[in-house]
Structure 1
Amino acid sequence: MTQPTVLVIGFDPYQVPVSDQDAVAAALDRGQARFAEFDLEAENCLLGLNDQIESDATAALKTRPWDCVVIGGGIRKPPEALELFELMVNLVRKYAPQAAIAFNTSPEDSANAAARALAA
């Protein structure tokens, strides 16, 4: 049996304004490592604040059939990112309609979010 596949869409800490880029990158690495605990295969799609957001997310969504897509809090939480959040949800619906959609609370609990959505 193959492992369920998960795509995590979020911001690249080195391409967006964050107070401690290295700390956020380390949290992303720790979160990525946790997918093995749930026997999930995961990839990150880390976006910058540029004109390529839609094309980069679309390309990642089209790389393979995903079982789950996690949309990160950096895209989901800030009120000024509402339109981007809507775009991401609609891209998932268009290019990965079979995928469960999950939401994390931090980069380190993306695996928990994916496991929760896949179990539902």
Structure 2
Amino acid sequence: MYSQNYIHFYHLTECGIGKAKIPEPSLRTEPIVRAISESSLPFLKMEKAMTEVSVLMVGLQPDLIDFSDPAYAAFPGMTAEKVMAGLNADQARLTALGYHASLCLVDFGETAERVLHERLGEKPVDCVMLGAGLRLIAKNTALFEKLLAVVHRTSPNATICFNTGPTDSAEAVGRWFPPPQRA
């Protein structure tokens, strides 16, 4: 089994986000080989895709959102019930595809950082999906930045992805981790 560091390294370099160096052998978390060539990196991604990928879906508590607020005008007709139904359906879809998906719903800042930190501290996750309501609504930018920092500090090896609404989380996760193969 390969460490998440190698998987994360591959995802960063595959997407052109950075050209990180492979850690020195003494810094590796698992002594798998002394050197990894560029041609062997696709195997690492495939290895991770064949195991269960844990996904934490982070979003705002739908019942706290004021959908009449002009900031949410880009989502006409949206209600807390529709958002929650979309999130539950997305979680079920991810599970059906073979991911281990769970929800982490936060408030607008009173306890959001603490709730996410505690949730990420329960067990390691492979992927953190930050919802559109956090990212696309301008007045939520500071909260989005704080939650992103919590993910970075608490789960530095987790891949971060973004959906565009409460119904396309599987596509967001799938960009980084192909759906696992069910036995």
Tell me the TM-score normalised to structure 2 length: 0.61
Residue number in structure 2 paired with 1:84: 143
CA distance in 1, matches of 2:124, 2:169: 19
Task: Write the letter of the residue equivalent to 1:106.
Answer: G
Cα pair 2:109 2:143 within 8 Å, conserved: no
CA distance in 2, matches of 1:118, 1:94: 22
- RCO comparison, higher one (Cα < 8 Å, 6+): 1
Per-residue deviation, 1:118 = 2.6
Which of 52, 62, 73 does residue 13 from structure 1 map onto? 62
**Unmatched segments (≥5 aa) in structure 2:** 1-49, 68-77, 179-183
Q: Report SS of the residue matched to 1:117.
A: coil
Residue number in structure 2 paired with 1:4: 53
Q: Which of these two proteins has the greater Rg computed from alpha carbons?
A: 2
Instruction: Say which structure is richer in strand.
Output: 1
Q: What is the aligned-residue identity percentage?
A: 34
Per-residue deviation, 1:69 = 0.2
Tell me the TM-score normalised to structure 1 length: 0.90
Which of 89, 94, 98 does residue 153 from structure 2 map onto? 94
Per-residue deviation, 1:21 = 1.4
**Unmatched segments (≥5 aa) in structure 1:** none
Per-residue deviation, 1:50 = 4.8
Cα pair 2:134 2:144 within 8 Å, conserved: yes
CA distance in 2, matches of 1:37, 1:113: 15
CA distance in 1, matches of 2:62, 2:127: 22
CA distance in 1, matches of 2:51, 2:63: 33
Instruction: Please report the RMSD computed on the Cα atoms of aligned residues, expressed in angstroms.
Output: 1.5
